[in-house]
Amino acid sequence: MQEPGKRCKSLYAAVWQQMNAGRLKHAVAACNELNQSFPGFAAGWYAASELALKFPNPEKALEYIDRALQLQANNPVFRVHRAHCLLYAGRRSEALDLAGQVASESPDHAAALAGLGGLYTRLGDHQQACDFYQRAVARAPDNALYHFNLASTRRFLGDFEATEASYDAGIALDPEFYEAYLIRSELRRQTRDDNHIPELEALIDKAQAPWRGEVQLCYALARECENIGEFDKSFAYLKRGADLRRTNTKYSVDEDLDTMDRIARVFTADRLARPGPACDSEAPIFILGLPRTGSTLVERILGCHSEIFSAGELNNFAVELTRLIVDKAGNKLDRLQFVDAALDIDFKQLGENYLASTGSAKDRARYFIDKMPLNFLYCGLIHLALPHARIIHVVRNPMDTCYAIYKQLFNHAYPFSYNLEDLGRYYLAYRKLMDHWNTAMPGRIHTVHYEDLVEDQEQQTRRLLDYCGLEWQDACLQFERNVQASTTASAVQVRQPIYSSSIGKWRHYGEQLQPLVQLFEKHDVHL
At residue 384, the pLDDT reads: 97
CA-nearest of 36, 115, 131 to 75 is: 115
CA-nearest of 144, 391, 118 to 133 is: 118
DSSP class of 418: G
CA-nearest of 70, 71, 69 to 80 is: 69
* Residue 1 scores a pLDDT above 70: no
Contact call for residues 44 and 34 (beta carbons, < 8 A): yes
Q: Cα(487)–Cα(479) distance, rounded to whole angstroms? A: 16
At residue 225, the pLDDT reads: 98
At residue 478, the pLDDT reads: 86
List all residues 6 or more positions away from 280 whose beta carbon is below 8 Å from its beta carbon. 387, 388
At residue 21, the pLDDT reads: 85
Q: What is the pLDDT of residues 111-128, one digit of tens each?
A: 999 999 999 998 889 999
Q: Do domains 1-106 and 253-522 have the same CATH topology?
A: no
At residue 31, the pLDDT reads: 97
Phi then psi for residue 476, to 5 deg, are -65, -20
Task: Please give the average per-residue pLDDT across 314-325, as a whole number.
Answer: 94
Q: What is the pLDDT of residues 21-64, one digit of tens each?
A: 889 999 999 999 999 999 999 999 999 999 999 988 999 999 99
Contact call for residues 294 and 393 (beta carbons, < 8 A): no
CA distance readout (Å), 254 to 421, 422, 519 = 11, 9, 16
Contact call for residues 479 and 297 (beta carbons, < 8 A): yes
* Residue 487 scores a pLDDT above 60: no
List all residues 6 or more positions away from 503 whose beta carbon is below 8 Å from its beta carbon. 397, 400, 450, 451, 454
CA 444 and chain centroid, separation:
27
Positive or negative, the Cα torsion across 244, 486, 463, 468? positive
Contact call for residues 116 and 146 (beta carbons, < 8 A): no
Q: Cα(510)–Cα(406) distance, rounded to whole angstroms? A: 14
* Residue 376 scores a pLDDT above 60: yes
CA distance readout (Å), 205 to 199, 209, 232, 281, 384 = 10, 10, 18, 56, 54
The strand pairing partners of 392, in sequence order, are 287, 446
CA-nearest of 169, 229, 162 to 195 is: 229
CATH topology of domain 253-522: Rossmann fold (3.40.50)
CATH topology of domain 1-106: 1.25.40
Q: What is the pLDDT of residues 488-519, one digit of tens each?
A: 555 555 545 666 778 999 999 999 999 999 99
Positive or negative, the Cα torsion across 457, 458, 464, 465? positive
At residue 485, the pLDDT reads: 55
- For residue 285, the SS3 value is strand
At residue 481, the pLDDT reads: 66
- The pTM (predicted TM-score) of the whole model is 0.86
- Domain residues of the chain, as ranges? 1-106, 175-248, 253-522
Q: Cα(98)–Cα(334) distance, rounded to whole angstroms? A: 42
Q: What is the pLDDT of residues 74-114, one digit of tens each?
A: 999 999 999 999 998 889 899 999 999 999 999 999 999 99
Q: Quote the percentage of the chain above a pLDDT of 90.
A: 86
As a residue count, the chain comes to: 527
